[in-house]
Amino acid sequence: MSPSPNQSVFPILFRSILKRFHAKTVLGLVFFSIQASTLSLSGLQQASNFPELNAERVIEPPVIDGILDENIWRSAPRISRFVQQEPSEGSPASEETQVYVVYDDDALYLGVRAFDSDLEGEVSSEMRRDSDRILDEDYFALILDTFKDSRSGYMFVVSPLGAKLEQQVFEEGEGGRPGWPSPNINRNWDGVWEAGTRITAEGWTAEIAIPMVTLRFPEVSRQVWGVNFKRNIRRKNEQVYWAPIPQAYDLTRVSLAGNIVGMEDLSRGMDLRVKTFLVAGGSRNQAGGQTSNSSHGDFGLDLKYGVTAGLNLDVTVNTDFAQAEVDDEKINLTRFPLFFPEKREFFLENAGQFNIGAVSVVGRTADLFFSRRIGLTTTGDQVPILGGARLTGKVGRNNIALMDIQTDEAFGKKGDNFLVARYSRDIMGRSKVGGMVINKKTIGDTHFNRTIAADMTLVPQENLTIQGFLSKTSTPEMLGKDMGSSLHVAYLDRNWNVYGSYLDLGENFNPEVGFVPRNGIRTSKFHFEPTPRPGRLGIRLLQPMINLTNTTDQSNKLVTRRIHYMLGMGFESGASAIVMYNASFERLDKPFAVQEGVVIPVGDYNFGDWRFMYNTDPSRKVYSTMTYSPQTFFDGTRTDVDLKLGVRLGNRLSTEGQYVQNKVDLPTGDFTLRVGALKVDYALSPVMTLRTITQYNSLTKQWSTSARFNYIYRPGSDIYLVFDELSQDWYSRDHGLGTGLGSRNRRILLKFTYLFSR
C-alpha cells in the first residue's frame, strides 16, 4: 500500500526499523560494541603505533618569556618528527618544529621552536585571547587527555604574537562540521595558563606553562597522559601533527594521540582556588518619558576545590556576570526559538559533562540541559543567582556532574531551585552509558518540572558511532505523552560522512531546563556526503551532499520536509565556496505571524531556496564572506543577503562589519528586516584588550553598543571596565523613518577579580 500524501516513505521506513529495535537488539548491539571495541583496542595495543614522549622533572622552572635560553631546554627530551595531514597526508612536515617537555610539582612546561624558511610569509596579526582569528593564522596547539580515556581533553593554542586560546573537549569534539560549533567543544572555558612567544630570525619560539591545578587527572603515582601537538603553517595551508591524524578529523581526536610518560608523584598542594570579585557602577534608564539614575555595588566569590585529583567542587556566592559578552543580534523568521551559547564563566568548566541531547550537526533540536535557563530570562535579562555549587569530574571510569543553583525573585516571579545530576560510565574503548535527573522547583509555589533520562554512546569501530537517549518529563497539568527519545548512527572517515537519526518528542515533553524548539514531533534524517579530493584547479576538497529530513506529528502526518542538496569546495588557499538548494514543505495548522501585521494563513506550502556562498582566505588582512539567497517563502518570495568584511590593521587593531538583510514579499504584506554589526578590537598586549560591538536590529528598532576593556594583571585575575547602551529608534517606530534615537538604558561597570590559589 502506498503512503498517503500526508506521509513520506522515509519516516515510515525509519520508524519501522526502530520499532523492531527491541531489547534483544539493543543487548546484541551493546555486546557487539563491547566485543568490537575490545578487538579494536587490542589491535591498537599490539600495533604500538602511538608515539611516546618522556617528560623530565626539573628543579628550577623556566621564565615564561618565549626565549628558550634556560639550561633545562638544552637537556630536555625533544621531539621533532611531525607529519602532514594537509595537504599531503603522511608526508613529512615542510618546516621543522621542535617541542621540549618538562615538569615540576606546579606545572607542565613546553618549549617550542617553529622554524620557518620564509619569515616574510609568516601569517600572524592576532594578539587577543580567545579570538576567532587565531585558528586562521600560524599557531601551535597541544591537547592533553589526562585521564587517557580517549574521549576528553584540554586543548591549548598559542600564536607567534602570543595570542592564546583554550578549550575543553568532550566526546572527541564530535557533533559539528566546519563553520558550525560542536556542542562537545567548550570554546568559552577559561583555564589558567601562561604563554610567552618571540619572533626570531629562524621562525618563532614559544614557552608554555600549564599549572597542574588547571587540569584534572587520576590520583596515581605514575601518570600516563594522552598528548598530541599540531602546527598550522598558514601561508601553505599546511597542518602537521606529532601523532598522525587522518584528514577526516582534527586535533580533538584524542583516541589517536600519543603518550606522555615519566611524570611521577605530582602534587596539587591544597588544590584550593578562591576567586573574589568587587563590582561598582551606575545606570541610567529612560522609559515613558521618565529618567531614573541608579548606582550599583556588590561583591561575591567563586570557590574551586579539588575533592580528589579528578573531582572538582565549585561554589558560587552572590554570582555576578557583569563582564559576560552580549549576544549577537539575530533575526528570527521561523516559528521556533533561536539558540544562543553560554558565555558565563561559572557554567563553563566541564560543561560538556552535563550534555544529553539529540545529535544535530546544524542547529539544535533537543538539549535536555541548557544552562542559560538558569539566571537568564528568555529575552536575555539577568535573574539574580543567590548561590550554588557544582561537583564535576572523573573517578576511575565514572563521570560525575552534580549542580544545585538557587535564583532570587525577579520580574514579578518567584525564585527557582535547580538540581541537576548527571552520571555516566566509560565502557570499553570509547563507549559509555549514563543518565541524568533534573529538578526545577519554584520556591513558595506548587510548580515544578522534572526530567529523567538515560543515554548511551557506542563506538563499535573507529569510524562508527551510535548515540541515543530515552527521557521522560513531569510537569503539573501535563500528564501523558511526555516521553522523548533519539537515536543517531554515524560513519565518518577520510572519504565518507554518512549518518541517520530519529527523534521522537511527545506533545507534553517539556524539559524546562533544556532547549527544545519543537515538541509533539517525530523527525527522521539521513545524510550522505562523499568527500573527494581532486587536487586540481586549486581545489583541495569537494563536499557534495544530500540531506533528507522529514518531520511528522505524533499521528504520523507530515508537517515539515526538507531535501538539502549542496556542493562545497575548499580551495588550497583556504578560501571556500558553497552552492546549495533546499526543497521544503511546511504545513501550518494555525496562522503564523511572521511579522507584526503580516500573517501566513493555515495551509500546505511547498517552497525552495538557493544559497550561494563564498568565503575568501580568512588569513588575509582583508577577508570577506558573501551569501546571496533567492527563494520562495510560503506563498511569497524572500531574498536574503549576508555580507561580512574584516580588516586587520597591523597586529593590534582589527575590525569586522556584518550586514544581514531579509526582504520578504507575501500576499498579506511586504517587509524588509536588517541587522548590522560592527566589531572593533584593539590589543595593547596579549593581556590587555578592548572590544566594542555596535549592533542594530530593525525588527526591534534598537541600537546597542557594548565596550569591554579587560586587563589580566596576573593569571586568573582580571580588571574589567564595561559600558553598555541600549537605544531605541523611536522615530522609526512611530513614523517608519530612521532619523532619531532615544536612549533607553545605559550603564557603566568596573569589576575587579582576584584569584587566590594554594
Spans of all domains in the chain: 50-264, 271-277+296-467
For the chain, percent helix, then strand, then coil, each to nearest 5? 10, 55, 35
Question: For residue 263, what is the enclosing H or E element?
Answer: strand 258-264
Widest Cα–Cα separation across the chain: 80
Q: In this predicted structure, which of 412-416, 491-495, 718-722, 741-745 has the lowest mean pLDDT? A: 741-745
pLDDT at 48 over 50: no
**Amino acid present at 51:** P
Three-point CA angle 12, 15, 20, nearest 5°: 130
Asked if 189 contacts 168 with a C-beta cutoff of 8 angstroms, the reply is yes
Q: What is the pLDDT of residues 525-574, one digit of tens each?
A: 999 999 999 888 899 999 999 999 999 999 999 999 999 999 999 999 99
Residue 299 CA to residue 716 CA, distance in Å, equals 17
Q: How confident is the model at residue 9 (pLDDT cuts 50, 70, 90)?
A: very low
Query: Which DSSP category does 220 fall into?
Result: -
Rounded distance between C-alpha atoms, residue 479 and residue 614, angstroms:
49
Q: Please tell me the predicted confidence (pLDDT) of residue 310.
A: 86
Q: Which of 623, 752, 748 is nearest to 282 (CA)?
A: 748
pTM exceeds 0.95, yes or no: no
Q: Is CATH 2.60.40.1190 the right assignment for the domain spanning 50-264?
A: yes
What pLDDT shows up at residue 719?
A: 94
Q: How far apart are CA 187 and CA 190, in angstroms?
A: 8
Give, as one character, the DSSP assignment of residue 536: B
Percent of the chain with pLDDT over 90: 56
Grid cell of 419 as nine digits: 538540581
Contact 407, 375 (CB under 8 A): yes
Asked if residue 595 has pLDDT above 90, the reply is no
Q: Which of 54, 101, 98 is nearest to 80 (CA)?
A: 98
pLDDT in tens, 622-653: 999 999 999 999 999 999 999 999 998 888 89
Q: In the chain, what percentage of residues exceed pLDDT 70? A: 87
Q: To which residue does cell 520580574 refer?
A: 411
Counting every residue written for the chain, the total comes to: 758
C-alpha cell of residue 531: 568527500
The C-alpha atoms of residue 508 and residue 477 are separated, in whole angstroms, by 10
3-state secondary structure (DSSP) of residue 620: coil
pLDDT tens, residue by residue, 676-695: 999 999 999 989 999 999 99
Average pLDDT of span 576-593: 93
Predicted confidence (pLDDT) per residue in 178-213, tens digit: 556 677 888 878 888 999 999 999 999 999 999 998
Predicted local confidence at residue 355, as pLDDT: 87
**What is the pairing mode between strands 464-474 and 483-492?**
antiparallel
Whose CA is closest to 427, among 30, 46, 24? 30
Segment holding 36, helix H or strand E: helix 23-47
Q: With 90 as the cut, is the pLDDT of residue 308 above it?
A: no
| 233, amino acid identity | I
Burial class (CB in 10 A: 0-12, 13-18, 19+), 215: buried
Question: Can you tell me which residue has the cell 534608564?
Answer: 285
In this predicted model, what pLDDT tens digit does every residue of 328-353 receive, in sequence order?
A: 666 656 666 666 677 777 787 778 88
| Residue 592 exposure: Cα atoms within 13 Å on the Cβ side | 19
Tens of pLDDT, residue by residue over 92-114, are 999 999 999 999 988 999 999 99
pLDDT of residue 56: 93
pLDDT above 90 (res 498):
yes
Question: Which three three-digit cell numbers place residue 137?
Answer: 593564522
Mean of per-residue pLDDT scores for the chain: 86
Least confident of 20-34, 120-134, 431-445: 20-34
Tell which residue, 549, 547, 546, 541, has the closest CA to residue 568: 541
The pLDDT of residue 729 is 63
Question: Is 477 exposed, middle or buried (CB count within 10 Å of its CB: 0-12, 13-18, 19+)?
Answer: exposed
3-state secondary structure 321-385: CCCCCCCCCCCCCCCCCCCCCCCCHHHCCCHHHHCCECCCCCCCCCECCCHHHCCECCCCCECCE
- Let me know: does 102 contact 58? Beta carbons within 8 Å: yes
AA letter at 636: G
* Residues 618 and 133: beta-carbon distance below 8 Å: yes
Give which of 691, 593, 566, 758 is closest to 179, Cα–Cα.
566
CA-to-CA distance for 429 and 207, rounded, in angstroms?
34
